[in-house]
Amino acid sequence: MTQREIFLRHIAQTSTVPLALEIVKAEGALLFDINGKEYIDLIGGISVANPGHRHPKVIQAIKDQLDAYLHIMVYGEFIETPQVQFAKLLTEHLPSSLNSVYFTNSGAEATEGAMKLAKRFTDRREVIAFNNSYHGSTQGALSIMGSEYWRNAFRPLLPGVFHFDYNSPESLHAITEQAACVIMETVQGEAGIITPSNDWIQALRKKCTETGTLLILDEIQTGFGRTGKLWGFEHFNIVPDILLLGKALGGGMPLGAFIADQELMSVLTNNPVLGHITTFGGHPVCCAAGLAALKALLDEEMITKVKEKEELFQSLLVHKKIRSVRSFGLWLAVEFDSFETNKKIIDHCIGNGVLTDWFLFASNCLRISPPLIISEEQIKKACEILLKGID
C-alpha cells in the first residue's frame, strides 16, 4: 500500500476530504512534499509556527533536552528546569497579576483547566461565552464553542453556558454575580478575524471586575506576536484574570497553558488536593522548545515587522471579487461571495505551491496566518498566485 492508502485506512479521519499532502520537510515559511514540490505556508500549522518551521535555536534546545531527560514525573511534582525557566520568561513578559503558569498538553486542555479554576475560585457555575467562538474540541471546550452545528451531535454538554454575540450590549448585561467567568477570544479567529470594539471590551472588563466574574482571554491563536504585539490584549489596555495559551507556545511542539495570579491558582491545591492534574502537561522537551522559540521571537525582533507585512498583504490583495480583507497583524481573512468560490481559489493555490485554507465559522474566507518570518518576496509570490486563482 502507498502512504496515502495507509493514511486513509489507519489514521482516524476528521473529514471526508483531507488535504492529504505528504510533507517530508519544513523550513522557515516553506513546506516540501514527497515529490520535492515547494509550498509557501500561509497557514503556519494554524498559527503554530510563528518563529518559522524548525527554527535552529528550537531544534538545538530539543536536542539538548533529549540528552538530559524526557518524561520523569507527573506535572507539578518535580522541579524540571525547562518548565521553571519557561514559566519565568513568560511571566516576565506579562502583567504582574499573571504570575502563575499551569502547563498543559494543548490549548483545549488549557480551556478545560481555566474553566475548572474559575468555578472553583468563585464557587459559581454560570459561564458566559460567544457565538462563533472556538476554544477547542473536548467536551467542556465544545460546550462553550459558539456554533450549534458542531455542538449538537454531542449533547448533553455542560449546563449553565450562555452564548451571546461578540461586541453586543446584551453580553454586558448578562454578566452578573451568578457568572463564574466570561471566556472569549481577544480577537475571534475562526469567525474570520473579528475584532472587539475598544469601548465594548473595556466595558466588559469593567463589568467582570464589578461582579467578581473572572475574565478568561483565549490567546491560543492571538498570542506570540500574531497581532503585532506579543499579546493581543495589549492592543486594548486590559488585563485578563486568566490567560489561555497554546499553538505557538511550544515552538512547534504540543503545549498549552493557562496563566493566572498565584492567589487564584492556589485553589487547585486543596479541597480537593490535585484539583487539576496531567501526566504529560509541560513535557520537558516541549517546554525547552517553547522557551527557545519565545527567546528567538524576542531576540530577533520578529514582531516588529508584523505590521509592515500585514500592510503588504493588504496592498496586494485587491480584486473586484474580493469582498473584504479583514486583518489584525499577520492574521488575515480574505472574504469571497461563497465557500464554493473560496474553495476553488484554495485548490488553485495549493496546486500552485501556496498552502492555505478557510475558517470554521467563515467558510467563504481564505485564511492567512503564516510564520512571522515570511519574507516580502514570499508574500508577493503567494499573493500573485492567489490573485491568478481568482481570475
Closest CA to 366 of 352, 354, 353, 374: 354
pLDDT in tens, 314-364: 999 999 999 999 999 999 999 999 999 999 999 999 999 999 999 999 999
**Confidence check: pLDDT of 366 > 90:** yes
Q: Say which residues have a Cβ less than 8 Å from residue 258's Cβ, sequence separation at least 6.
A: 102, 104, 110, 111, 113, 114, 117, 242, 243, 244, 245
**Confidence check: pLDDT of 193 > 90:** yes
pLDDT in tens, 194-214: 999 999 999 999 999 999 999
What pLDDT is stored for residue 250 in this prediction?
98
For the chain, helix (H) and strand (E) counts, in that order, are: 14, 15
**Paired strand residues for 217:** 184, 243
In percent, how much of the chain has pLDDT > 70?
100
Q: Identify the band that residue 18 occupies on the pLDDT scale cut at 50, 70 and 90.
A: confident
Q: Identify the band that residue 8 occupies on the pLDDT scale cut at 50, 70 and 90.
A: confident
Closest CA to 116 of 247, 235, 272: 272
pLDDT in tens, 65-113: 999 999 999 999 999 999 999 999 999 999 999 999 999 999 999 999 9
| β pairing state of 324-327 and 126-130 | unpaired
What pLDDT is stored for residue 73 in this prediction?
95
Residue 287 backbone phi and psi in degrees, to 5: -70, -40
Nearest-angstrom CA–CA distance, 243 and 185? 10
Nearest-angstrom CA–CA distance, 61 and 193? 33
Nearest-angstrom CA–CA distance, 244 and 258? 5
Nearest-angstrom CA–CA distance, 205 and 239? 8
Residue 165: all three cell numbers together = 454575540
Q: What is the DSSP secondary-structure string of 196-245?
A: PPHHHHHHHHHHHHHHT-EEEEE-TTTTTTTTSSSSGGGGGT---SEEEE
**Confidence check: pLDDT of 14 > 90:** no
**Confidence check: pLDDT of 16 > 90:** no
Instruction: Give the ranges where 229-375 is alpha helix by DSSP (H).
Output: 262-265, 284-299, 306-316, 339-351
Nearest-angstrom CA–CA distance, 245 and 264? 17
Cβ(259)–Cβ(240) under 8 Å?
no
Phi/psi zone of residue 231: left (φ > 0), alpha (ψ -120 to 50 degrees), beta? beta
What pLDDT is stored for residue 3 in this prediction?
87
Q: Identify the band that residue 61 occupies on the pLDDT scale cut at 50, 70 and 90.
A: very high
Q: Identify the band that residue 17 occupies on the pLDDT scale cut at 50, 70 and 90.
A: confident
Nearest-angstrom CA–CA distance, 318 and 321? 9
**Confidence check: pLDDT of 28 > 90:** yes
In percent, how much of the chain has pLDDT > 90?
93
Over range 292-311, report the average pLDDT.
Answer: 98
**Confidence check: pLDDT of 19 > 90:** no
CA angle 340, 376, 358 (to 5 degrees): 20
Residue 337: all three cell numbers together = 461571495
Residue corresponding to grid cell 489561555:
244
Q: What is the CATH number of domain 57-299?
A: 3.40.640.10
Residue spans of the domains in the chain: they are: 3-54+301-390, 57-299
The one-letter code for the residue type at 301 is E
Residue 324: all three cell numbers together = 473584504
Q: What is the DSSP secondary-structure string of 9-25?
A: HHSPPSSSS-----EEE
Question: Is domain 3-54+301-390 annotated with CATH 3.90.1150.10?
Answer: yes
N residues, the chain: 391
What does the DSSP 8-state code read for residue 195?
P
pLDDT in tens, 115-173: 999 999 999 999 999 999 999 999 999 999 998 998 999 999 999 999 999 999 999 99
Residue 304 backbone phi and psi in degrees, to 5: -65, -20
What pLDDT is stored for residue 20 in this prediction?
86
What pLDDT is stored for residue 52 in this prediction?
98
Over range 299-304, report the average pLDDT.
Answer: 97
